[in-house]
Amino acid sequence: MAVIRVSSMQWAGGATSRSRWPVLQGPEIALCGRSNVGKSTLINRMAGQHNLAHTSKTPGRTQQLNFYQCWLKPLLESIDMHSFATMQRTPDSPLRYGAVLTDLPGYGYAKVPEALLQQFRQFITSYLRGRDRLSAALLVIDARRITEQDEQMAAFCHAQNIRFGVVLTKADQVPRSRQHPSLQEAAQRLKPDFPPVLFSALHPTEASRDALLDLLYALWSGNPLPQRTAVLPPQEENPFSQR
Ligand SMILES: Nc1nc2c(ncn2[C@@H]2O[C@H](COP(=O)(O)OP(=O)(O)OP(=O)(O)O)[C@@H](O)[C@H]2O)c(=O)[nH]1
Ligand SMILES: [Mg+2]
């Protein structure tokens, strides 16, 4: 079981310039990655909705910063939710904790025009440098290939003192024998603050979903990763929809 679950998620605005960044509840995680790695699909999977974020086979689909207000429910009484903003829904219902995910445009892809990429990189770096509620970044990387651009993004986070985690997506495209080596390679090349997590948004397993939620909790809260034995479980039917 993960330490939190996302009880609801809403789109809370899109922006290309700083003046339009919304004021939201709770600490923020920026989803950074090359185009087409599955950032927007990951958002939809977390939300349990198909079309909350726009996804596409065509790289360069997300062209602005998209902010998502999440409301979290702690699943363990012992975990520290101190860093999260709280809101009481009704006198009878439990407290929900606010947190934000920001879906960024992709920072690289061969088929996206260079001028557009330059513009995206400018949005991304000014946001990462200037957003005061930013708690951490989540680097979203295609599990089949870690690129030089991913290393540059990791180096940028290290240089700016931005804590970050790594999720390797499209796990369904990676043979089982390559899964552990991919995780090791990501840890060695990118040196994230927490061990990388392998995830498939198309066929998420219960354990990979829990590992991702625990990583998000650690990135949002600034607390250590909850204790868990790392396993690569067999694939199951959509565990997100079971809750
Ligand atoms: N096989 C597989 N395909 C995936 C997975 N996640 C996303 N995709 C596919 O990858 C493509 C790109 O997904 P998006 O979520 O739009 O990618 P993005 O990173 O948001 O891309 P940009 O908005 O262009 O930066 C879509 O065709 C998705 O269906 C996954 O876990 N496995
Ligand atoms: Mg996208």
Neighbouring residues of 201: CB distance < 8 A, sequence distance ≥ 6:
38, 41, 42, 44, 45, 169, 170
- Are 3 and 73 in contact, with CB atoms under 8 Å apart? no
- Residue type at position 151: E
Tally of domains within the chain: 1
Range of the domain at 171: 4-242
Q: How far, in Å, from the CA of 56 to the mean position of ligand 1?
A: 7
User: Which protein residue has the closest C-alpha to ligand 1 atom 3?
Assistant: 170
Q: How far, in Å, from the CA of 95 to the mean position of ligand 1?
A: 33
Average pLDDT of adjacent 10-residue blocks, the chain of 243 residues: 93 91 95 93 93 83 89 90 83 85 84 79 90 96 95 95 97 95 97 97 93 97 78 45 42
Query: How many angstroms separate the CA atoms of 215 and 240, rounded?
Result: 16
Which CATH number do you get for residue 174?
3.40.50.300
Query: How many angstroms separate the CA atoms of 151 and 153, rounded?
Result: 5
pLDDT at 212: 96
User: Which protein residue has the closest C-alpha to ligand 1 atom 8?
Assistant: 38
